[in-house]
Amino acid sequence: MKKIFKILGGVLAIGVLAVLGFVVWVQARGIPTYDTPKLPVQPVAITPARVLQGQKIVTAMCADCHLDRQTNALTGKFINDLPPEFGKLYSANITQDKAHGIGAWTDAELVGLFRTGIGRDGRFRMVMPNFVHMSDEDVNSVIAFLRSNNALVQAKPIPSHEQEPSFLGKMLVNTVMKPTPVPTKPVLTPDTTDGVAYGRYLVVGRYKCYDCHSKDFKTNNALVPEQSEGYLAGGTRLLTPTGEEIMSRNITCDEETGIGDWTEAQFVQAVRYGKAPNGLLKLPMPKFSLMSEQEAQAIYAYLHTVPKLKNATAEDGAVAAR
């Protein structure tokens, strides 16, 4: 009997030491640093068409996190729509300022960050979404816009705020949240007349709807988005600008809990203008006001090919279960 207690005590002690060791390791590493990705990227030619396309993407995909309403430019701010469990996180100044913005970054360094999540200094940019499936042409358009003379990106000498991740934030960034590998092949925009293929591209590549609309950021699969838990069936917890908890909704075509009973016109209205059949959609659901009708229709067509999942969220009357 005594021997058993001794063994159990030993096992427990090793367990406690392992946990302590892990805690110390996570605290010491903080946000990890990696080798800076080296991509064979040529400087992006800035054309009016790219600046226009870039404006459309940046307005929909970057401004919600990077636009400071006080400066009316992409000077960075406190990220107020993430649950506080991740800590206090801030987006960066991405105006053309050489010291505080991205004025000194090369195009290759920007592409490296968008593809892998690793900055030019090697530090992993947690929270900054990676754009693994965005086409090379769309990435070039984003860069063309960042280099353009649009007021949002003109140099503003405002320092970016340092990150203050919680222990959970640090743990995630050292375990499950890892840089994504550099693409080995060119990433092409699919044929825009092939509704379903184009719609999939918009959902996983250009607008990343799946990022917010699956079960949880922690279980999303950046490389194979379709393998994210509860793909497109909603459930991710976010905060509204006034700090109330809000859950993303089921956008699979389940008739009861998803959007299976919506017409194409209703869907287009909801996505472009935030007008859903049962009321106005709140932030952080982005306003995709610059999205074309054709893009919204392609997304609608694609969603009809995605496996239906039953998942009741708040607007279906479900009470959030922890």
What minimum distance in Å lies between the beta carbon of 13 and ligand HEC?
37
Minimum separation from the CB atom of position 287 to ligand HEC (A): 10
**Which whole-number Å values give the CA distances from 137 to 117, 199, 205, 246, in the listed order?**
19, 17, 12, 34
CB 321 within 8 A of CB 237: no
Residue of 86, 201, 217, 288 interacting with ligand HEC (CB under 6 A): 288
> Please, which residue, 20 or 194, has the CB nearer to ligand HEC?
194
Does residue 126 belong to the site contacting ligand HEC (CB under 6 A)? Answer: yes
What mask of x and - would describe binding to ligand HEC in positions 128 to 157, judged by CB under 6 A? xx------------x---------------
Nearest alpha carbon to residue 173 among 124, 119, 238? 124
Q: How many residues does the chain have?
A: 322
Please give the structure tokens belonging to residue 102: 């991205």
87 binds ligand HEC (CB under 6 A): no
Q: Is 286 in the site for ligand HEC (CB under 6 A)?
A: yes
| Segment interacting with ligand HEC (CB under 6 A) among 32-40, 41-49, 118-126, 185-193 | 118-126
Q: Work out which of 285, 298, 309, 312 binds ligand HEC, going by CB under 6 A.
A: 285
- Map the footprint of ligand HEC across residues 51-70, applying CB under 6 A: 58, 61-62, 64-66
Q: Using the rule CB under 6 A, is 302 a contact of ligand HEC?
A: no
Kindly state whether residue 179 participates in binding ligand HEC, applying the rule CB under 6 A: no
The single-letter code of the amino acid at 264 is E
Q: Which stretch binds ligand HEC (CB under 6 A): 1-9, 32-40, 119-127, 218-226?
A: 119-127
Close Cβ partners of 155 (under 8 Å, ≥ 6 residues apart): 95, 96, 97, 98, 101, 103
At a CB cut-off of 8 Å and minimum separation 6, what does 302 contact? 195, 196, 197, 198, 199, 200, 202, 203
Instruction: Please name the residue ranges forming H helices in the chain.
Output: 2-29, 48-61, 63-66, 107-116, 136-146, 167-174, 195-201, 209-213, 264-273, 293-303
Other beta carbons within 10 angstroms of residue 108's beta carbon come to 18
| Dihedral over Cα of 277, 211, 253, 298: its sign | positive
Q: Of these, 75, 95, 163, 228, which contacts ligand HEC (CB under 6 A)?
A: 163
Measured from the CB atom, is 15 or 263 closer to ligand HEC?
263
172 contacts ligand HEC (rule: CB under 6 A): no
Buried b (16+ CB within 10 A) or exposed e, 278-312: eeebebbbbbbeebeeebbbbbbbbbeebebbebb
Q: Work out whether 232 is an interface residue with ligand HEC (CB under 6 A).
A: no
Our CB check for ligand HEC shows the closer of 9 and 43 to be 43
Binding site for ligand HEC (CB under 6 A): 58, 61-62, 64-66, 79, 89, 91-92, 94, 102, 110, 113, 119, 125-129, 142, 160, 163, 207-209, 211-213, 238, 246, 248-249, 251, 259, 270-271, 276, 281-282, 284-286, 288, 299, 315
